[in-house]
């Protein structure tokens, strides 16, 4: 089984505007699809540094003198650049999607398609698991994460259902969780809604929004002038953060202007309209259908 099919591969590589002798970062190595394509565009002097916090990704590492794979969450990438004496880079790529490998591994607990333990950790040495979130968070906290991270209109009802069910017995498997909250949804949308529930819990377990913000802030100092920031996101929360950051230099989208009325921002938007997969790509790779690509040029 293939580890992961990268979404918007050609579009993201084009967006990097790769200089053959440059240094590039792939902050989400995964199956290595993007990294392998970047290496094809680099000369012998070029360099690619990739990051992944999941030990499973290291099975896909690339034997190439120009390539370095670092086991770390991308929120810490500048620390490793300093350690390896890299002052700045010409391009940064981040594919924020969960690897197919994770969804297809029942023991990781990411998917509603299989019964497995409620884990959902990207980094299996992390302390917080989905089981702990589901069984120990107070109702108000569950409501907040289901409402904000899952964008579920019936988040309060769902939080109540979880709390009632866990009083009878702990919720320890993906099948149990799906059974508990599934009753809140009509059959024609249940799969979509369950995916949102699991997404909300996964984001909480892996602190994904905080990590994304920390990573984006660091790109301002890591990129050289004219360097490219290329980000592929898969849900509206991520896309909104990326869009606002590139457009306005902050996460709220508040437009700050200078004396002359020009928007203060570190980046220029390369694509003012978000790039999405073609019909052909979504047919061959259905998991790419929600992918959104945004590109910024460092000013």
- Residue-wise pLDDT for 176-198, tens only, equals 999 999 999 999 999 999 999 99
- Per the model's pLDDT, the better-predicted residue between 231 and 260 turns out to be 231
Q: Give me the pLDDT at residue 113, please.
A: 77
pLDDT digits (tens, 9 = 90+) for 131-168: 999 999 999 999 999 999 999 999 999 999 999 999 99
Longest dimension (CA), the chain: 64
Residue identified by tokens 């002052």 is 87
Average pLDDT over residues 96-119: 74
Domains with residue ranges and CATH for the chain: 9-100+208-298 (3.40.50.150), 124-205 (1.10.150.170)
pTM for the whole thing? Answer: 0.92
| Structure-block tokens of residue 237 | 């929360």
Helix, strand, coil % in the chain, rounded to nearest 5? 45, 15, 40
Does residue 249 contact residue 265 with C-beta atoms inside 8 Å? yes
Residue 98, judged by CB atoms within 10 A of its CB (0-12, 13-18, 19+), counts as: buried
Report the SS3 class of residue 31: coil
Reply yes or no on whether the pLDDT at 267 is more than 70: yes
- Paired residues of 50 in beta bridges: 26, 69
pLDDT band at 123 (very low <50, low <70, confident <90, very high): confident
Q: Between helices 190-205 and 174-182, what is the axis angle to 10°?
A: 130
Section 36-46 average pLDDT: 98
**Is 168 in a helix, a strand, or coil?**
helix
Copy the structure tokens of residue 18.
């790769």
% the chain with pLDDT above 90: 84
Q: What is the pLDDT of residue 45?
A: 98
- Residue 68 confidence (pLDDT) above 50: yes
- Return the minimum-mean-pLDDT range out of 18-22, 52-56, 82-86: 52-56
pLDDT at 2: 54
Question: Is residue 109 pLDDT above 70, yes or no?
Answer: no
Q: Is the pLDDT of residue 1 over 50?
A: no
- pLDDT of 215 higher than 90: yes
Q: What is the mean pLDDT of residues 261-275?
A: 89
101 band by pLDDT with thresholds 50, 70 and 90: low
What average pLDDT is seen over the chain?
Answer: 93
Token couple for 71:
């086991």
């Amino acid at each position: 089984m293939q580890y992961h099919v990268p979404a918007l591969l050609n579009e993201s590589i084009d967006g990097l505007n790769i200089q053959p002798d440059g240094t590039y970062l792939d902050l989400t190595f995964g199956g290595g699809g993007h990294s392998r394509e970047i290496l094809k565009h680099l000369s012998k002097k070029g360099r690619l540094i990739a990051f992944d916090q999941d030990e499973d990704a290291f099975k896909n590492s690339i034997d190439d003198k120009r390539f370095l794979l670092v086991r770390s969450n991308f929120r810490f990438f500048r620390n490793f650049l300093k350690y390896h004496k890299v002052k700045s880079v010409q391009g940064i790529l981040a594919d924020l999607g969960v690897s197919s490998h994770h969804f297809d591994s029942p023991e990781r607990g990411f998917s509603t398609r299989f019964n497995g333990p409620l884990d959902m950790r990207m980094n299996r040495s992390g302390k917080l698991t989905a089981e702990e979130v589901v069984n120990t968070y107070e109702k108000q906290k569950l409501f907040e994460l289901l409402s904000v991270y899952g964008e579920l209109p019936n988040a309060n009802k769902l939080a109540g259902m979880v709390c009632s069910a866990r009083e009878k017995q702990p919720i320890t498997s993906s099948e149990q969780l799906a059974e508990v909250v599934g009753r809140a949804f009509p059959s024609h949308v249940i799969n979509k809604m369950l995916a949102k529930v699991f997404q909300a819990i996964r984001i909480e377990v892996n602190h994904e929004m905080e990590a994304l913000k920390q990573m984006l802030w660091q790109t301002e100092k890591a990129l050289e002038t004219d360097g490219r920031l290329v980000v592929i996101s898969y849900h509206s929360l991520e896309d909104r953060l990326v869009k606002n950051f590139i457009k306005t230099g902050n996460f709220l989208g508040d437009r700050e202007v200078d004396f002359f009325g020009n928007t203060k921002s570190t980046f220029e938007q390369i694509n003012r309209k978000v790039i999405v997969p073609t019909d052909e790509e979504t047919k061959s790779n259905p998991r790419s259908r929600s992918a959104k690509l945004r590109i910024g040029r460092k000013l």
